Amino acid sequence: MSDDGFIETAGLSKVYAFGEVEVAALRDVTLSIPRGRLVGITGASGSGKSTLMNLLGGLDTPSAGTIRVDGRLISDLNKRELALYRRDTIGMIFQSFNLVGAYTALENVAFPLLFAGVAKKRRRERAAEILKAVGLEGRMHHRPTELSGGEQQRVAIARALVNEPRILLADEPTGNLDSKTSRQIMEILADLNRSRGLTLIMISHEQALLREFSNEVISLQDGAVVTREALR
């Protein structure tokens, strides 16, 4: 499998049924994303960005079409296989951070390792390592409420990295942050993409920031790809 088609979708569609009414959130999306790229996705709200992200992340299953990651047909996996795919291949970052409020930063980062069956001591070591890498070695034992937005998002990034995924999916990672912090987070993510060779797909409203860091920007409208813009 060539790098050209590390992540491939073909005819990807998602239809939500609200009673009798069916709403197509995604229509016939065919994409090919090479390994190690940073791809920005933009579009108005309701354009299907998040739906695409959830499908790529294995949180949801398509109504039609296929998803392949590194040649593997993700759209055919059962629930358990999808869970393992999320655990081993994907790291997800959300606008609202989605940290567990009752856990410390360290516990939040170690959380995914629990489901990978890693021993407790190793979990903590590994989480501490990664928190250090995102510059939070002094905040490990703080709970999310005791951290700033930027710190929380860095904890979330550390958590996404802890299982050493090959793909990072970031859904509006800077949506809740001020512009200075947004830039810091973007820099961390771009650095991960460069230094670790992670394939990074990022949704953002912030066109300027997205264009500054992305290799390519895909625009969605009404669930369909309208433009693909290669930047570098």
86 near other proteins (CB under 8 A) = yes
Q: Which is nearer to other proteins, 34 or 175 (CB)?
A: 175
Residue 214: alpha-carbon gap to chain centroid: 14
The position carrying tokens 């940290």 is: 99
- Of 62-70, 80-88, 184-192, 197-205, the window that binds other proteins (rule: CB under 8 A) is 80-88
Q: Which is nearer to other proteins, 23 or 116 (CB)?
A: 116
**Do the strands 72-73 and 64-69 form a parallel or antiparallel pair, or are they unpaired?**
antiparallel
CA distances from residue 124 to 18, 23, 24, 145 in whole angstroms, order as listed: 43, 44, 43, 21
23 near other proteins (CB under 8 A) = no
73 near other proteins (CB under 8 A) = no
Cα–Cα distance for residue pair 59/30, rounded to 1 Å: 19
Which x/- pattern, by CB under 8 A, does the window 89-108 give for other proteins? Answer: ---x-x---xxx-x------
Least distance to other proteins from the beta carbon of 83, Å? Answer: 4
Cα–Cα distance for residue pair 229/90, rounded to 1 Å: 24
Structural contact between residues 102 and 166, judged by C-beta atoms closer than 8 angstroms: no
19 near other proteins (CB under 8 A) = no
Q: Which residues form the interface with other proteins (CB under 8 A)?
A: 54, 57, 59-60, 79-80, 83-84, 86-88, 92, 94, 98-100, 102, 111-112, 114-117, 119-120, 159, 163
